[in-house]
Structures are given as C-alpha cells and as structure tokens.
Amino acid sequence: MGKCSYDEDMILHAVGNRLRELSQEYGYTFKEMAKEACIDRDNYMRVERGERNSSIGLFCNIASGLNIKVSDIFNEEYKEYLKKYDDIAFLRKILSSDEYKLIKKKKLSIC
C-alpha cells in the first residue's frame, strides 16, 4: 500500500473545515457540537481549527447527533478542502516565502 500523499496538518484542517461547515448547516454552536461529540467545547474548537487529532468515535458521535452517516462527513466537500490544502502545500514548495505571502494577500496573480 502506498504512502499517504497528504500530511497530517492538511487532513486535520480539511476535517476541521468540514465540521465547521456541518455545524453552520445545522445551526449548531461550538457547545452543541461538542456535546454531540462527547468532548468539552475547547477541545471541539481545537478540532475545528485543525489543531487536534480526532478519533473515529468522535466522528461517530457527531454523525449520530446530526442524524447523518460518518461517510457524510468525508464527502465531496471534504475532498475539496483536502485538495485546497494540497494546492497550498504545492505553492509553498515552488514559491519563495515573499511570493507566497503576496499571493495569500491576493496582491500577486499566478495566472
């Protein structure tokens, strides 16, 4: 089996973005999402920010609380977030630090 092409940071941020999207879609606060995940609010916030690794159990709890399947968390939107972070990592590799900062500030066009 091949090595995963995404680093852990990319995956954590993609998962966090997807969970943020779901909480907004369902109108849940951090506190309500944390309750569904069976963790405290601060730890849930760290998951959404991509700062904390998560367990399958956490995703099962969230999915159950939202009445969705776990696979709905890792759907096409999740894949798009992952692709976005992959593109960002690629840009960081090929561009100088200053060029990357300008692109991030949208002051330099890459087209």
Write out pLDDT tens, residues 66-109.
Answer: 999 998 888 877 777 777 766 666 666 667 666 666 666 665 44
* Residue 89: partners with Cβ closer than 8 Å, 6 or more residues away: 7, 10
pLDDT at 25 over 80: yes
**Residue 78: which CATH number?**
1.10.260.40
For residue 61, what are the domain limits?
8-84
Residue 65 belongs to a domain: yes
**Does residue 60 form part of some domain?**
yes
Looking at the domain assignment, is residue 105 inside a domain? Answer: no
- The closest alpha carbon to 29, from 46, 41, 15, belongs to 41
pLDDT of 53 over the 70 cut: yes
pLDDT at 111: 46
Share the mean pLDDT of the chain. 80
Mean of pLDDT values over 48-59: 90
Q: Sort 111 into a burial class: Cβ within 10 Å, 0-12 / 13-18 / 19+.
A: exposed
Nearest in space to 31 (alpha carbons), one of 48, 13, 20, 44:
44
Domain count, the chain: 1
104 in any annotated domain: no
Q: Is residue 48 part of a domain?
A: yes
Residue 20 has pLDDT above 60, yes or no: yes
The reply to whether 33 falls in a domain is yes
